[in-house]
Structure 1
């Protein structure tokens, strides 16, 4: 299975410029609302037309501006799960699934029955979409694209309309579906946890520009850019400048920090995740005395907002499990910024 995408399309505020290749895996596009993620899927599906470029799926050219090729959506063998599920309101659950099924009448019926059971919809097969909950509608939409001859699944923020518990249940179902699926899947999301749990590889789209492709672990370990660092959930980011090969000045925190990785000449920002900071009992490199400015109680942890002792600047967030936080340490607190956890960004 191979998908190759290289397209450009002028949007209202910026140009969408996307290029990537993927195989039999889950490839995620992570980005803020309005950055061009969904438009990328719509262009691949044939719902929208790029201004120029090329899209090739398993050796079949779906779109090529130079050759004048632009297959219709129904010719592309692409299954698209829309945010609003796009079920036919005048069809029952079974009819919605059957509509997309390929093969003979017998084969279609077999696929419908298998997926009704698979998604716990057998008792709802005669119901209409308006009679279903959001989670039930989503299961019908999953079933419908899986009975089609799709070589590629496009999942456009598939859980955005669901509450926490239902989202988790359906995410687990989708995870099992994707494990047994022979083709590729593109997942669009602004939820970093969703991307980490479901995807094999990921890339950030920022104002239409696609940033470097990473494994999911690589993206969260070293995001490379400011946009990617923010989207992957880092709470502590500072402007930075290079002092030498392994030291930076963190301007917003008033600190000189040692780094394990070599500092690029054009470094502009540095970041460290809140849960990687550690309390220290002694002064050593990358350990600083802190003033506790504010303590925020989260569900299972405390977010301790601190600044370097006696100085002004941007607050730093230290995330601590509830059982480990001792309010008494606020009078004298030293925090270590691990050299191997400092992320450096050139843009």
Structure 2
């Protein structure tokens, strides 16, 4: 169990983070510059928070009031950096062995070389192996130290798409086998959803609490969180009980439950929009502004017929090859998929 409740000021930037997580991988999700990496560095002991506490499995790693600040080497926290931070003059085998416990160094290293499919490059140096092999070496080195928590800082950002998906799967398997605390920093909602069961959203240096991933996608709560979750259609809205008025589009949509009074915006995910007939619940007429081909569908840009000139356009996926600018169609969304946001 990892408990983090810290504050840290860096110039004009204020970090205020509070969350708890257990053995299920936690995604720390946020836009670039929101403080995700700063949070990991505070947990690892690379940066010192100004205030607060960090507790791992009952051990206090940091407590400003109690004047406790364990050095990184005593925290039992493994940190997978974006650029892996391997020792360039050591072989793969040596990079892994250097962090292992002395009494079982040889056995631990051999087992991790086998587990991460690195036996054929064990005597190579980092510059002689691929990016994927470098990442596996870095993760094996972390595990060789027998950490109680692993921190992953945008671990796939430097890889091309094919290799990213392959190594994402390997990381997931490794973390499942690790079965202890792990925090996965990313700005990619797809990566977060595939790899983690819980999510903690960071916005402008602030994060308060972890949520189940399914709950986050079903109800992002805020506009910025909805954007991070991949919601493509965001527009101002006014709550009217179980209905939501969208003045800029000139339409009203029904929700499955009453909208919160503090609602200021509405979100519609592309995958929840459907072609419909006139008169179907939550249907409204649109004109096609543009049709852009995707691999297996077309991405339609639509303007609701009653929309104001300054209104945001609507985006949805539809059957490939049927659409042209100026076409008229009806779109609908199920009441349970109408997201209300603040």
What's the TM-score, normalizing by structure 2? 0.96
Q: Which residue of 2 aligns with 1:35?
A: 34
- Partner residue of 1:266 out of 257, 262, 283: 262
1:100 alignment partner, SS class? coil
Q: Which residue of 2 aligns with 1:206?
A: 203
Q: Which residue of 1 aligns with 2:293?
A: 297
Aligned-partner Cα distance in 1 for 2:89–2:221: 49
Q: Which residue of 2 aligns with 1:250?
A: 246
Matched, 1:139 2:129: no
- Partner residue of 1:320 out of 292, 312, 318: 318
2:41 alignment partner, SS class? helix
Aligned-partner Cα distance in 1 for 2:14–2:247: 33
Aligned-partner Cα distance in 2 for 1:212–1:345: 18
Q: Is the 8 A contact 1:269 1:344 kept in 2?
A: yes
1:186 alignment partner, SS class? strand
Q: Is the 8 A contact 1:101 1:148 kept in 2?
A: yes
| Residue 103 of structure 1: how far off its partner (Å) | 4.3
Q: Which residue of 2 aligns with 1:338?
A: 334
Q: Is the 8 A contact 2:282 2:334 kept in 1?
A: yes
Residues 216 and 123 of structure 1: CA distance in aligned 2, closer, same or farther (over 3 Å) = same
What's the TM-score, normalizing by structure 1? 0.94
Q: Is the 8 A contact 1:238 1:251 kept in 2?
A: no
Name the Cα RMSD after superposition. 1.5
Aligned-partner Cα distance in 2 for 1:165–1:150: 29
Residues 250 and 13 of structure 1: CA distance in aligned 2, closer, same or farther (over 3 Å) = farther
Any residues of structure 2 matched to 1:153-232 within 5 Å, and which?
Answer: 153-232=150-229
Q: Which residue of 1 aligns with 2:83?
A: 84
Q: Is the 8 A contact 1:38 1:188 kept in 2?
A: yes
| Residue 43 of structure 1: how far off its partner (Å) | 0.3
Q: CA offsets per residue over residues 209-231 of structure 1, 9 Å max, x none?
A: 11452211111111111111001
| Residue 328 of structure 1: how far off its partner (Å) | 7.5
Q: Which residue of 2 aligns with 1:49?
A: 48
Residues 261 and 212 of structure 1: CA distance in aligned 2, closer, same or farther (over 3 Å) = farther
| Residue 15 of structure 1: how far off its partner (Å) | 0.9
2:37 alignment partner, SS class? helix
| Residue 248 of structure 1: how far off its partner (Å) | 1.5
Q: CA offsets per residue over residues 319-341 of structure 1, 9 Å max, x none?
A: 1253xx63389633111122110
Aligned residue-pair number:
340
The unaligned stretches of length 5 or more in structure 1 are none
